Structure 1
Amino acid sequence: MTDKPTGGHDGPYEAPIKVTGFTVLPEWIDYNGHMNVGFYGVAFDRALDVVMDDHLGIGAAFVAEAEQGPYVLQSHMQFLREVKEGEPFYFLYRLLDRDAKRGHYFGEMFSGVDDALCATQEALFMNVSHETGRSAAYPDWAQERMARMVADHAGLPKPQQIGQNIGIRRKA
């Protein structure tokens, strides 16, 4: 366990946090001529790494030091508009909730061409000890940062995609 932060900052946190600098790579294109569904997960994960490293300080440096780190337990993505090869895109992230071991976040992916919402991801992560393979409480400083981020993001309007069920909608 690390008693001192290995990175990130104590806030205040941008509401939401904007993560930029992404472009659809040629190898991410599928036979339909747009970004393959699997690479949306890769893109969301890379952007989440920025939030974990640069803001909360519970990313790669923390994992190396503490031998524990965030594992995604559940993820729900919605694909709202296709993106094409070479198209720039960016993300907006918010932390919805947290406890000593877990965090619940929502990310939105936007086109860098016209700012259209292209995809969303809602996920739950948990801190896991690499030694035991079991959940572990984050250190106090990380819990305090997560609580601050939740508070800083609490006033944001709730997107309709948060908490959506999956299934075929039928008219009555």
Structure 2
Amino acid sequence: MPTALPVPIQFELPEGWRAAPPDAVGVPEASFVALHPQPDARFTANVMIDGEYRPDAARLSAIAHDSVERLRQAATSVKVTSHHEIGSADAPGFTQTLAVSAVVGGVARDLVQSQVYLSILDVADPSKRAVIRLVLTATASQHSYVLSDFQDFVRTVRLDANTAS
């Protein structure tokens, strides 16, 4: 069963991408998964969203580092190829790109993962902080092709004003 996000968000998928049940694609801890319409070498590029409340003061870069360490436990190798602070003091974010070698579906794959971390403070109680993680995973050869779709997608992510408190 998909994990609910700590805060409601809204977004628009790029043309052609389709939502998929997280359980059905093997990421039950995700809140949302979308699949690219054209697989590359039998691997389907995907976007995954998850998030959690983070009442601690951990920097987004530290949270991203923890994510890399968890991925290292499941992959053959993981290398951070870039990372950047983004956003502003009021709406901080962090991005990182990873080169990942892993066995997926019994096949050794070279993948690239682009991760975006967004920190969202509760306006009524700034001690309540949610961190939303947006992840694009694609083959190394397809990543540059689908990256612009992912960037367009990230630009549409915002709090859902209809349900946010």
TM tier, smaller: 0.3 to 0.5
Rg comparison, structure with higher value: 1
**Which structure has more helix as a fraction of its residues?**
1
Bigger share in strand: 2
TM-score, normalised via structure 2 length: 0.35
Q: TM-score, normalised by structure 1?
A: 0.34
